[in-house]
Structure 1
Amino acid sequence: MKKGVLLVNLGSPESPSPQDVKKYLGEFLMDERVIDIPLIARTALVKGIILKTRPKASAAAYKKIWWDEGSPLIVISERLKAKVQKEVDYPVALAMRYGSMTIKKGIQELVDQGVDEVFLIPLYPQFAMATTETILVLTEELRQEHFPNVKIDHLPAFYNKPDYIEVLSDSVKRHLGGKTYDHILFSYHGIPERHIRKSDVTKSHCKIDGSCCVTPSKAHEFCYKHQCLEVTRLVAEKLGLEEGAFSTSFQSRLGFDPWLQPYTDRTIERLGLAGVKNMAIITPAFVSDCLETLEEIAMEGQELFHEVGGKEFTTVPCLNDDDSWSALLGKWINNWAK
């Protein structure tokens, strides 16, 4: 069998125009693993409300961060793919869960090169219904329908792999430059609390009460919150951060249902009001800088921090196409291919 690799990231609108953003949001938010409510209710919510109000504001946000080369997430992912390709002897393709760079096109690109065994790498350190799971489910559907002779393996969540923690910690340390901060905030993308319970394979462990995430359980294999907290713990340990000098929060909530807390915006506000003058933010749920890191954190977060009395606000870039990160992906691929 000829082996190949498919890197999969989230996706992006074709442009920061309201029309393209609306199309992208429609595909993204209609995913039953993103907004996990019955189809009729989801359609009414997304098409009847969100897509009539949100595209204009989202397009304005995208325009703030758009690069001359295109969407930052797409450009960075393409750079990463090029570097990973230099690390391995197998064809490497890039796809997005949403948008025009479809997973189907990515698999087809590999098949056209004779590949019949694919190593699928969802570019998310932690497992979640709305990220890793939706990629795996769609990929299997596409395989059965269009590529029945292709074998597909995938890289599990790598949040606690020692070599990943090493690369992430080294990147954070390098970008912080040895400076001392009043507080370091680890901000992760938020998800509804019900997603945590739905992903609980034990159907009883996850209570989101502050204790279940630190109580050993096989539920942790698919528990997004546990995996986020573990990344914070492991990186803080690696960097020698003192208890109280760092914390974890969750961003980008949508709707009125309870999402994972504490919320990032409220945490930034609380820290500023408490007298924190300089803080740094790390966003380890993302491997590529995107709207949520470049606009929501680096722009909106900084503005909020200054409004409540904060002075210096530092955002640590994602791993992006860091040489050590691309080399690590190459190592994982080569280990799989043995």
Structure 2
Amino acid sequence: MIMALFTRSYKPGVLFNTNLLWRSNSTLETLQKGEDEEEFRVLDILKKKDKHQRRVARPMKVPADRAEKMPTDQNWGNVWPGPRSFHPSSVPLPIRQGYVPKGQVPPGKKANAELMKIPNFLHLTPPVIKMQCEAIKKFCTEWPKMLNSEQAIEQHYPVEVITSDYCHASPTIRNPLARIVTLRVKLSSLELDKHAKDKFLRLVGDRYDKETDLVTFTADRCPMRKQNLDYVNYLLTATFHESWAVEDWEKQKSEEDMEYYNWDNNKSKRNLIDWYLKVKNEDRLLTDDEYKSFDVSEIPHAIEYKETVSDLFNVGENKETLSRYDTVVRKLLGLPEKKC
């Protein structure tokens, strides 16, 4: 059995070149001299796995954690000098935080994402704060010796400004609530006359608390705290100066046009003075100027009677004002108290 194999080799400029190779494997003829014998490769379907030498696991020397090598008398301000995320190897404390399953302890500080979420104050330890205070002490001034009480502070610094700072975990350090500014001042410290005080109270409305005598302005419409602070200062300044302004039509107002009941300009004061003069057996007629300038403080319970009658007209008739009026009139006339 003869097998023939044709091979083609292509060269530039030549169509093709055919070489005929003869192979005889059935007659076992001797190959020509000088020609290498080509070995027939056997297909090995089931290959045998090569034996590899097993690797021997060698123990690795892991250095001890930094937290375990820290000395107890170290300067903590050098280890944690400023605000930063939590790092377990730098804190030699057994800190735990996170969800606690039933019957288990909280997660430790290693690989604890909860400790990295929240801000920490490890850089503000008492020794570090003391050191920082000593460093900035040279830039501070001595506290005034005369401001040794709350009354003295309120007298010299009547305006109080309240702001809030927030520390939270978020992509930005700014909190929208930090822009809110509150300004408080006592009405008595503004030194307003009767007309200006009445006008001031009408301008501020419900911002005045009668029990504490405080006027409160709150601003949050501006995006920055400094802008809101300027705005509340403007509100206080504008309201104060506007309360002192007297319009031309205000000078023409009569007692019937007043928005409130003024006891000193009404007939109730004249009736009280006339009654008091008759009790003292003084039969004399007073002019309008004498009625206005008459000091009712010398009449027993007259000041209390004045305040009660004013509240009765300004506040209105209710159970409290009527009860007070009944009690004061009995004191003024010397009558016994009402029995319940």
> What TM-score do the two structures reach when normalised by structure 2?
0.19
Structure with greater helix percent: 1
The structure whose Rg is larger is 2
> What TM-score do the two structures reach when normalised by structure 1?
0.19
Greater relative CO (CA pairs within 8 A, separation 6+): 1
